[in-house]
Structure 1
Amino acid sequence: MILIGQYDSPFVRRVAVALRLYGFDYEHRPWSVFGDAEKIAALNPLRRVPTFIADDGEALLESGAILDWLDDLVGPKRALIARSGPERRHALKVTALATGLADKAVSLVYERVIHQRGTPVWVERCRTQIAGVLDALEADRKASSGPWWFGDRIGHADIAVGCVLRFVGEALPEVYAPGGWPALAAHAVACEALPEFRAVVQPFHVTPPKD
């Protein structure tokens, strides 16, 4: 197994955390979507990360698809999400909110660093969406009674939210201040205390592509 991408990406990191929780050995190639675009393109024409190479050589191209494949590999008893029913739907909703938040945060980073501009309407729209998602996740996390979102065992929803909160806090500190969402802040602390999270940490940094 080969995981391609840098750990400052919340999408790459959520896959890496799951791999470690599942106990899989894997090779990590910290390729950049800008500096190593051609190498990534040979495996993924979208030139995006995470890109994941399974043991049979097949390339999987999106974090959700990669995790779905890993869940199938370990079986329903070990999978980090319910197999079916309301809990699965709820977990998928939380995960979708978290990854959607990450998408909006990445858009703001690109607007500032790559495009070197700040289109007011677009920036305000992204910030409004991010704040709305944070509010929804805060309320949802407060309503969960266990140490993790769905009980005593960490799952994909927990991991996605934990990875996204670190990314947004580092990349856009003016947008996410942990004090504004205390339940999420406590959740992030619990995630970052786990060895599986600590093993795959990379401070956020983006280098614009050369002309």
Structure 2
Amino acid sequence: MSRAGLDRLYRKGLFLEYLTVGYNVGEAIVSIGFGSLANSIALIGFGLDSIIESLSGMVLVWRLKQRGKVTEEEEERIEKKAIRLVAVSFFALGAYVLEESVRRLVIADAPETSLPGMIIAATSLVVMPALAWQKIRTGKAIGSQAMIADSKETLACAFLSVALLIGLGSNYLFGFWQADPIVGLIIVVFLFREGWEGWKEASEEEHDRKKKPDST
């Protein structure tokens, strides 16, 4: 591939990541806002997840923009620190959503119905798979495992949107309010899993990097 073609693909990758970050920030604001109005821990948790996903996207934006500016070793070292910070954030938010979901189930703190929340989830269900597909194609074209991994996180957000839509829809259509904190617990599993995967990935790559000098 020519240098011009590769540069064009990198610009496309940056555009996709900027779009992801911008969408997630907007999604977080409206989700947390409407979630607070409706007392919906599922919608609030979905918004908090969007914040962390936007942070993860910012890490990848930085990674793509550093192409040719710093050494590969320095780039990887800074990225691993950022990934660990994102992982800790996933754990912290997971603990908060877990506590709130269990508390609301125990004291029967029923949320209001939220049509805006259902619209948010449905929109995400359309946008996220399309973004994920473009990221996979671009990541493979430029040989970026980081972008390919990020595309999987974007696709996971679509599955999370399905759970949110089911929970909010059950409350809206059938008055089954317990579905909201139950979906909150599903989001907790997702948050903890993402935190663990991120932490493990950073630790494994750091371990592999330290072993390289010994094998030469």
For this structure pair, what is the TM-score category when the shorter chain's length is used for normalisation?
A: 0.3 to 0.5
- Give the TM-score of the pair, scaled to structure 1: 0.32
- Give the TM-score of the pair, scaled to structure 2: 0.32
Structure with greater Cα Rg: 2
Q: Which has the higher strand share?
A: 1
Q: Which has the higher contact order (CA 8 A, sep 6+)?
A: 2
